[in-house]
Amino acid sequence: MTDWPIDAELASRREQMVRDQLVERGISHPAVLAAMRAVPRHEFVAASQRAFAYDDRPLSVGYGQTISQPYMVAVMTEALDPHLDERVLEVGTGSGYQAAVLARLVREVISIECVPELAAQAGETLRQLRITNVTLIVGDGTLGYPERQPYDGIIVTAGAPAVPKTLIAQLGEGGRVVIPVGSQMYQELFVIRRREGKIVEEHREGCVFVPLRGTYGWG
C-alpha cells in the first residue's frame, strides 16, 4: 500500500468529497471510504480539470471516455465487496482512478483498456504514484483476460447491452461481477455472484456510463 505526499488543501477537499458525496449518500464500507480518502483523484485528470477533481460529477479524460463520478466509483467498489487477498479484473481502465482505488483494497488488479493512448496515460500515472499491483492490458475487455482467471471480482466501468458470458466464465467460486447494463443512454447496475456453481443476479440503482466497446459491447 502506497502513501503519497499530502497537499493540505486537496486532502481537505477529498475529505469533504467523502463526507458529503459518499457517507451522506449511504456508502459505509470502511475500507472503501479509506481508499477514496487516500487516492488523489486530481492526479487522474488533466491539469485543466484539476479544479473540478473532487466535484460530484464525471469528467472527460479524452477519447470519448470519462473518469466516473466519485459516488459511482464508491457504489461499484462497495458492491464488489473487495478483500485484500483477492484478484480483480477491471474492464475499462480509463484514467486509472478506479484501478488505483481497487489497488488499495485487493492483492492484484488486472485492468483492460481498448484505447492504447488511455492505457499509456493511466500506466504513467500509476507509475508516478508507485502503484505496483496493477497490470494494464490493451485489448477487448469484453473478452476478459483468461490468462489470469479465475477472478474473485470483475468490475466493468462502461455500460453494456448485456452481461458478457465471457466474463461470467472467468469468475471464480464466490466471485462477483459489477456491471452497468442497459441502453447506450441509461443502465441499471447489476451485481452478479457465483454461488456453489450457480449464478445469482441482483439489480440495483440506475446509472449512466459511456458505452462499453468490444465484441460483446456496442461495437
Annotated catalytic residues are: 68
Say what the alpha-carbon torsion angle 202, 142, 32, 208 is, to the nearest 10 degrees: -70
d(CA 70, CA 86): 23
Burial class (CB in 10 A: 0-12, 13-18, 19+), 218: middle
d(CA 103, CA 96): 10
Strands (E), the chain: 59-62, 65-67, 87-91, 108-113, 134-138, 151-156, 171-182, 187-195, 198-207
Phi, psi of 171 (to 5 degrees): -90, 130
**Region for residue 168 given its phi and psi (left: phi exceeds 0; alpha: psi -120 to 50; beta: otherwise):** alpha
d(CA 83, CA 15): 23
